[in-house]
Structure 1
Amino acid sequence: MNLTKEQILERLAQSCKNTLMETLEIKYIDFGEDYLVAQMPVTPRVHQPDGVLHGGAMVALAESVGSAASFMFLDGENMYVRGIEISANHVKSKRDGMVYAKATFIHKGRTTQVWNIDVVDENETLISKVKLTTIALPKK
């Protein structure tokens, strides 16, 4: 069955119901042959106490987009995808607006995948640089 881009993005949106992604208002907005993009609004909901975007929220955004990309580009119907390692360098703070995370493959293995995830703002300014490793495990 060939689905349209809109149908695939809607399926991703439905998978976020009642999850952390819904709580953080993460939305998948674009994809291509080797990437997936998600956005997250920067509001007090994702701030640390001094009023800037919390690093943990950025890491949650990055892991969400990388894991969803693994699910999309692998056999997600027959595999579980789990993040097994993540590292992030937060290079700029952000108080409001929107951030975008784009996951692209560094390594696409059958069992493990390594993702580069850049988190940028509306002006394409780098906010955080993330590397995520996922593992695909067969459903039993």
Structure 2
Amino acid sequence: MSEIPGLDGLLGVEHVETGPDKVVARFTIGDHHLQPFGIPHGGIYCSVHESTASVAGQIWLGTKGVVVGTNNSTDFLRQAKVGDTITVTATPIHRGRTQQLWRLESVNQDGKLIAQGQVRLANLDQEIPADALARFTGGQ
């Protein structure tokens, strides 16, 4: 578990780099990430992809609204194993007034692509709690 609240905390995700044009997160595959047949569950990648894209999209949008995921498409390319460190990088494909599209890549410690995907976000006209955004921007 990490200090991050919610599902990311349960999955042990840490944010290595956060900014409006790129967010990098990292986690290490443990027994709690496995599906019943002993291999990493694909939902891990889907979940971390969506949350990483959401952090990136919210930092970019700032206080102009709240982002929510509307689509998540993840392809699983290579199997990871317990002990592997997975680095997830989110970069923008499109950022507009009402929606955003982010590319996600998950690589292992050897730089091999494990999963890739895209997450579409909607920009909602709602106020974001200042402390939620400050968690990722250092209060800026």
Alignment length (residue pairs)? 125
The within-5 A match list for 1:7-26 is 16-17=4-5, 19-26=6-13
Alpha-carbon contact 2:88-2:104 (below 8 Å) kept? yes
Which residue is equivalent to 2:132? none
Structure 1 gaps of 5+ residues are 1-12
- The superposition leaves residues 47-69 of structure 1 with CA deviations (integer Å, 9 ceiling, x where unpaired) of 11222211001100100100000
| 1:68 pairs with 2:63 | no
Q: CA deviation at 1:94?
A: 0.7
2:68 counterpart residue number: 82
Tell me the percent identity: 26
Structure with the higher strand share, 1 or 2: 1
Structure 1 residue 27: Cα displacement: 1.0
TM-score (norm. length: structure 1)? 0.83
Please point out which of 114, 125, 128 is paired with 2:112: 125
Q: What amino acid is aligned across from residue 61 of structure 1 in structure 2?
A: V
Code of the aligned partner of 2:125: P
| TM-score, normalised via structure 2 length | 0.83
Unaligned runs of 5+ in 2: 128-140
Separation (CA, whole Å) in 2 of partners of 1:81 and 1:32: 15
Q: Give the secondary-structure state (helix, strand or coil) at the position aligned to 1:129.
A: strand
Q: Distance in 2 between matches of 1:81 and 1:31?
A: 16
Separation (CA, whole Å) in 1 of partners of 2:12 and 2:18: 18
Moved more, 62-71 or 92-101: 92-101
Alpha-carbon distance in 1 for matches of 2:13, 2:122: 22
| Runs of 4+ more than 3 Å apart | none
Instruction: Tell me the equivalent position of 1:93.
Output: 79
Give the structure 1 partner of residue 131 of structure 2: none
Q: Give the secondary-structure state (helix, strand or coil) at the position aligned to 1:74.
A: helix
